[in-house]
């Protein structure tokens, strides 16, 4: 089935709630797979996609347990929907990094020690959140793990991450400026990590539901490079989904790409759009497919996008960058994007001003070079 890139990106804009907003923050995060909190503006990324972008929408979703903060893609901190976080964590844990010789020797932990360590961590968090040093002290109080106090309290969080991937802890509310860990079950919507193959198939289908049509390279970027799923493992999940008819191939401007079978008809019927969208830097729109996807990010501007430049999209393609200084929204428009659509930029600026709760005048300049 042939479709144009314009149709594909218009469909993706709609799927990512950038045309019609979502009802709640958890719907946004679930559709996108996760929102990075380590850089960019997670709050703006979510609220731009809400039909009612209340200032506390994200914080309230975290407090209510609809969203959890934990270590996910590339080991960094992400917002995940509590009801499907376990699937992504199961994929991330598949590499069993803690069983590598370097880990076993450095932490003096063998594979058979981990069930007891995990149980000790869950017991420590059973009565509520603990700061990192408090958790380290609680675990080290057990003679078997007394040597882990420094590692568990370390600012790198390295030893703590596999505990998160196996569903034993998530990041809790800040206390006196210190981060805490809490039990995932503090969220009433938490679902424990499922069987790995079930989790992998879910992750593939979810990605295609939010970022399709996608190439195999896009899927490898998200699940292999992002979650260390393993190339062979991912290809196995994908082959099974294709054999079952759940995933099908389409041609996007002549290039084979993958979509969920359930989405084929709506994709074919999708009209192209020239809509303008302002997004924060490092938004999932570019992180999901990868900043090296030239369909989304012009190669000449990849470095700026990767460094976190705020994004101006036209028809889903990065066409410029923006920044706010005082009462001015300054847009830098890329020459290859054609003439800047002043009216659309002003309309989108008003939306951004409402999200930021400030008045903004718009200036547009051409990118140098």
Identify the sign of the CA torsion 199, 203, 204, 206: positive
First-to-last alpha carbon distance for the chain, in angstroms, is 39
Cβ-in-10-Å burial (0-12, 13-18, 19+) of 366 comes to exposed
Cβ-in-10-Å burial (0-12, 13-18, 19+) of 294 comes to exposed
- Please check whether residue 355 is in contact with residue 48, taking contact to mean a CB–CB distance below 8 angstroms: yes
Mean per-residue pLDDT over the chain, rounded: 96
What would be the CATH architecture of the domain defined by 2-16+196-268? Orthogonal Bundle (1.10)
- Please check whether residue 215 is in contact with residue 255, taking contact to mean a CB–CB distance below 8 angstroms: yes
- Please check whether residue 182 is in contact with residue 129, taking contact to mean a CB–CB distance below 8 angstroms: yes
- From the list 18, 14, 9, 82, the residue with the least C-alpha distance to 51 is 18
- Please check whether residue 79 is in contact with residue 315, taking contact to mean a CB–CB distance below 8 angstroms: no
pLDDT at 217 over 60: yes
Grade residue 268 by pLDDT with cuts at 50, 70 and 90: very high
Using CA atoms in the order 315, 318, 320, 322, what is the torsion angle rounded to 10 degrees?
Answer: 100
Query: What confidence score (pLDDT) does residue 368 get?
Result: 65
How far is 78 from 84, CA to CA, in rounded Å?
13
Query: What confidence score (pLDDT) does residue 316 get?
Result: 98
Grade residue 230 by pLDDT with cuts at 50, 70 and 90: very high
Specify the domain boundaries for CATH 1.10.10 within the chain.
Answer: 2-16+196-268
SS3 157: coil
- From the list 181, 252, 171, 163, the residue with the least C-alpha distance to 214 is 252
Angle made by CA atoms 185, 187, 191, in degrees to the nearest 5: 65
pLDDT at 369 over 60: no
Question: pLDDT digit string (tens) for 76-93?
Answer: 999 999 999 999 999 999
pLDDT at 295 over 90: yes
What letter would DSSP give residue 222? I
Question: pLDDT digit string (tens) for 23-59?
Answer: 999 999 999 999 999 877 999 999 999 999 999 999 9
Grade residue 362 by pLDDT with cuts at 50, 70 and 90: confident
* For range 221-240, the mean pLDDT: 97
pLDDT at 171 over 80: yes
Q: What is the pTM of this model?
A: 0.95
List C-alpha distances in Å: 183 to 60, 85, 124, 127, 128. Answer: 18, 13, 9, 9, 7
Identify the sign of the CA torsion 5, 333, 344, 39: positive
How far is 236 from 290, CA to CA, in rounded Å?
22
Query: What confidence score (pLDDT) does residue 326 get?
Result: 87
């Amino acid at each position: 089935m042939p479709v144009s890139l314009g149709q594909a990106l218009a469909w993706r804009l709609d799927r990512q709630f950038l045309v019609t907003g979502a009802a709640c923050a958890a719907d946004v995060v679930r559709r996108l797979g996760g929102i990075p909190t380590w850089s960019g503006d997670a709050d703006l990324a979510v609220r731009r996609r809400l039909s009612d972008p209340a200032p506390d929408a994200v914080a309230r979703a975290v407090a209510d347990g609809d969203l959890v903060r934990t270590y996910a893609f590339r080991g960094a901190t992400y917002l995940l929907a509590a009801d499907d976080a376990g699937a992504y964590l199961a994929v991330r844990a598949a590499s069993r990094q803690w069983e590598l010789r370097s880990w076993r020797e450095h932490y003096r932990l063998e594979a058979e020690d981990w069930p007891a360590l995990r149980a000790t961590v869950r017991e420590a968090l059973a009565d509520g959140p603990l700061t990192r040093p408090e958790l380290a002290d609680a675990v080290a109080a057990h003679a078997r793990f007394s040597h882990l106090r420094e590692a568990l309290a370390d600012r790198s969080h390295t030893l703590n991450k596999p505990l998160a991937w196996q569903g034993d802890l998530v990041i809790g509310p800040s206390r006196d400026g210190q981060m805490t860990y809490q039990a995932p079950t503090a969220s009433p919507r938490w679902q424990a990590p499922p069987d790995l193959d079930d989790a992998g198939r879910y992750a593939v289908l979810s990605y295609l539901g939010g970022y399709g049509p996608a190439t195999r390279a896009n899927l490898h970027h998200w699940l292999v490079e992002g979650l260390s799923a393993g190339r062979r493992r991912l290809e196995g999940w994908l082959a099974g989904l294709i054999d079952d008819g759940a995933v099908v191939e389409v041609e996007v401007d002549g290039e084979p790409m993958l979509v969920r079978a359930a989405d084929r008809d709506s994709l074919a019927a999708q009209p192209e759009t020239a809509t303008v969208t302002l997004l924060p830097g490092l938004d999932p729109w570019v992180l999901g497919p990868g900043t090296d996807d030239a369909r989304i990010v012009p190669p000449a501007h990849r470095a700026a996008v990767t460094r976190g430049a705020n994004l101006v999209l036209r028809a889903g393609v990065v066409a410029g960058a923006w920044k706010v200084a005082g009462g001015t929204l300054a847009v830098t428009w890329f020459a290859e994007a054609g003439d800047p659509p002043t009216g659309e930029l002003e309309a989108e600026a008003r939306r951004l001003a409402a999200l930021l709760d400030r008045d903004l005048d718009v200036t547009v300049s051409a990118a140098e070079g």
